[in-house]
């Protein structure tokens, strides 16, 4: 916490086209926090390079992610929006925290195991220490709360452990953060394999709905979505994972409860339901897409926001890093 106002931090990787899972599980909810917290929203491009990136694509997606932040309702005057690699304190604190993070802790991270299996030819040290950089991202801003999807909760718990370990040696250094998650939509599943999380890196394009998909594409993907045996529109994650996932998506985009959805589609088949989910999704994303195109057409405006956000974030980050350096005994001569 800086001053009296509590702090919220979150970040999104510019490593692929963002999905409705990213939108419903995280980005759409971000704007709510600016009314209650001092908010930092980061385009975490340094995290992205744990997997090999095409440089031109990474640059383009960095601009796109910032534009999507604003298109999804993040007001730059109420939120600090910036790019991770432009604030050098992230990498500096990450190295320090590496020295306070145990090897065993990192080896137990499920995302490391999953990504190591998917990228067996590139199991690099950065992939292993990714959670420590994430901890640095969070702790730099004396963060109180971290809005995350359920798959990142383990990393925030490790961040808490690192902060508490450091504070035991050097009292009063870091605020220990709490993860907060959306009640609905925090984990949107694949349209092709509804027992698996929707992923922007999925090779099956029909399994994923991207925020920037056009209306026809969105509706087509939902029409092809895998459902379950029978024809009843009923929420049951174990028995009917496909329909339950579609109900979650429809609920998130329409604001209707699961009970209301079950009544609305009582006696109607999967075809009607999948079309309704597709149309609701396309309707909700249309204004986001229009705003995104407007922001992307103004590259100078995006770069001005990057500079502004970097200045704001750096001021806070420098305060924390200077405090850490002093506690550790690093010589600081300005």
Highest mean pLDDT (candidates 162-176, 200-214, 229-243): 162-176
| Confidence (pLDDT) at 182 | 58
Q: Is 308 a catalytic residue?
A: no
Compare 50 and 310 and report the one with higher pLDDT.
310
Q: What is the mean pLDDT of the chain?
A: 91
Q: Is 115 a catalytic residue?
A: yes
Query: Which residues share a beta bridge with 5?
Result: 2
DSSP 206: G
Helix ranges restricted to H, the chain: 20-22, 28-33, 45-48, 55-71, 89-98, 103-107, 110-118, 125-139, 153-169, 215-223, 241-254, 258-264, 270-296, 299-328
Cα–Cα distances in angstroms (integers) from residue 187 to residues 177, 311, 321, in the given order: 21, 34, 34
Pairing mode of beta strands 79-83, 38-43: parallel
Catalytic entry in 153, 187, 200, 327 = 200
Other beta carbons less than 10 A from residue 78's beta carbon: 14
Task: Provide the whole-model pTM.
Answer: 0.88
Confidence of residue 271 (pLDDT cuts 50, 70, 90): very high
* Tokens 């609920």 found at: 251
CB 185 within 8 A of CB 23: no
pLDDT of residue 150 exceeding 60: yes
Domains and their CATH numbers in the chain: 7-181+299-328 (3.40.50.620), 205-293 (1.10.240.10)
d(CA 164, CA 325): 17
pLDDT > 60? residue 185:
no
Q: Is 183 a catalytic residue?
A: no
Q: Which of 6, 153, 197, 256 is catalytic?
A: 197
Spell 127-147 as b/e; 16+ CB within 10 A means b: bbbbbbbbbbbbbbbbbbbbb
**Distance from C-alpha of 292 to C-alpha of 313, rounded to nearest angstrom:** 23
Please list, in sequence order, all residues whose beta carbon lies within 8 angstroms of the beta carbon of residue 75, skipping any fewer than 6 positions away: 31, 34
């Amino acid at each position: 916490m800086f001053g009296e106002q509590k702090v919220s931090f979150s970040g999104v990787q510019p490593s692929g086209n963002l999905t409705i899972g990213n939108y419903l599980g995280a980005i759409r909810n971000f704007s709510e926090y600016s009314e209650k917290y001092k908010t930092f929203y980061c385009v975490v491009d340094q995290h992205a390079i744990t997997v090999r990136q095409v440089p031109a694509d990474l640059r383009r997606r960095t601009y796109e992610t910032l534009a999507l932040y604003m298109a999804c309702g993040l007001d730059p005057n109420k939120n600090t929006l910036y790019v991770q690699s432009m604030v050098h304190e992230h990498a500096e604190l990450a190295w320090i925290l590496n020295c306070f993070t145990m090897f065993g802790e990192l080896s137990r991270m499920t995302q490391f195991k999953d990504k190591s299996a998917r990228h067996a030819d590139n199991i690099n040290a950065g992939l292993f220490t990714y959670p420590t950089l994430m901890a640095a991202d969070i702790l730099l801003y004396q963060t109180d709360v971290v809005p995350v999807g359920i798959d990142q909760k383990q990393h925030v718990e490790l961040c808490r452990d690192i902060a508490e370990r450091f504070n035991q040696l050097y009292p009063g250094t870091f605020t220990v953060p709490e993860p907060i998650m959306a009640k609905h939509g925090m984990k949107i599943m694949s349209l092709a394999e509804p027992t698996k999380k929707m992923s922007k890196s999925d090779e099956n394009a029909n399994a994923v709905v991207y925020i920037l998909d056009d209306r026809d594409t969105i509706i087509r993907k939902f029409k092809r979505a895998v459902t379950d045996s029978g024809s009843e529109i009923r929420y049951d994650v174990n028995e009917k994972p496909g329909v339950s996932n579609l109900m979650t998506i429809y609920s998130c985009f329409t604001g209707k409860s699961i009970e209301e959805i079950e009544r609305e589609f009582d006696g109607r088949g999967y075809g009607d339901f999948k079309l309704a989910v597709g149309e609701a999704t396309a309707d909700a994303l249309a204004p986001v897409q229009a705003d995104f195109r407007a922001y992307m057409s103004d590259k100078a405006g995006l770069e001005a926001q990057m500079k502004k956000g970097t200045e704001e974030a750096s001021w806070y980050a420098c305060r924390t890093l200077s405090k850490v350096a002093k506690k550790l005994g690093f010589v600081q001569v300005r």
